[in-house]
Amino acid sequence: MSNTDYINVILEILQINVFSHLFVPAPFMDSSSCIKKIPDSNGVITLFIHLQSPVAPLVCPHCSSFNHHISKGLRSIELKHFSFGSIPVVLVVSYHRYICKDCSSYFSENIPFQFDNRKATVPNVQSALFEMKENHSMASISRMHGLGKNTIYRIFNENIHIPDRFYHLSSVISIDEFKATSDKGTYAFNIVDPITGKTLDIIED
């Protein structure tokens, strides 16, 4: 298998081949492999995969100067990816920070598979949204995708629209008074749809 095929296979397994144009698997600084299976900061065995981009021609976002910049070194960010079975996966993405020779402004590479500038990948969030659609609990989604519960709540509120519900009374209602057994009043009122026989509400005295 050639290096190109090897890279394409890894990106396809990670489901970021459609997002990643520049970021490719690269060995860790202290290793000859791009994959590590080690405990994370919480002691959980995690699969870390290193991705890095080469210095590439870019357009300065400040002055629109093309390919007239120099790299100011690499920075890394850890993005939570979806798990492989029971093993959590984290993508360690090394990206370049540049300075433009024309306007002296600093800018960084865009990571196309990072979700909304958060520490999660787009495929991971897409998978979480699909599980929300299947009525999985927020706690289980948080646990399976390695995302905090507050992050899951924000993703839900920002990406899933729940239509407003309106309840309309029947054209005919029946009200019956009966002796209540609660401490909030002697009597209560039972509101019924006489057509279907369904109780619509019970109102305290």
Q: Are residues 110 and 52 located together in one domain of the fold?
A: yes
User: Among 94, 114, 134, which residue terminates a domain?
Assistant: 114
Residues 138 and 158 placed together within one structural domain of the fold:
yes
pLDDT at residue 192, as a whole number: 87
> Above 80 in pLDDT, residue 129?
yes
SS3 letters across 90-113:
EEEEEEEEEEECCCCCEEECCCCC
pLDDT value of residue 121? 92
Backbone φ and ψ for 197, nearest 5 degrees, come out as: 80, 10
The CATH number of whichever domain residue 142 belongs to comes to 1.10.10
- Determine if the pTM surpasses 0.75: no
Are residues 48 and 131 both part of a single domain? no
> Do residues 139 and 55 both lie within one domain?
no
Pair 78, 62: CB distance under 8 Å: no
Measured from the Cβ of residue 104, the count of other Cβ atoms closer than 10 Å reads 9
**CB-based contacts of 81, cutoff 8 Å, min separation 6:** 14, 49, 89, 90, 91, 120, 121, 123, 124
Q: Are residues 76 and 17 in the same domain?
A: yes
Q: Assess whether 122 and 28 both reside in one domain.
A: no
At residue 1, the pLDDT reads 54
pLDDT tens digit string along 149-201? 888 888 888 887 777 666 677 788 888 888 877 676 778 888 888 888 888 88
Q: What is the DSSP letter of 139?
A: H
Residues 110, 147: one domain? no
**Domain check: are 158 and 181 in the same one?**
no
Please report which residue ranges of 63-193 form alpha helices under DSSP H. 122-133, 138-145, 149-159
Domain count, the chain: 3
Whether 141 and 191 map to the same domain: the answer is no
Model confidence at 13: pLDDT above 90: no
Question: Taking 80 as the threshold, does the pLDDT of residue 140 lie above it?
Answer: yes
The answer on 78 and 131 residing in a single domain is no
Owning domain of residue 140: 118-165
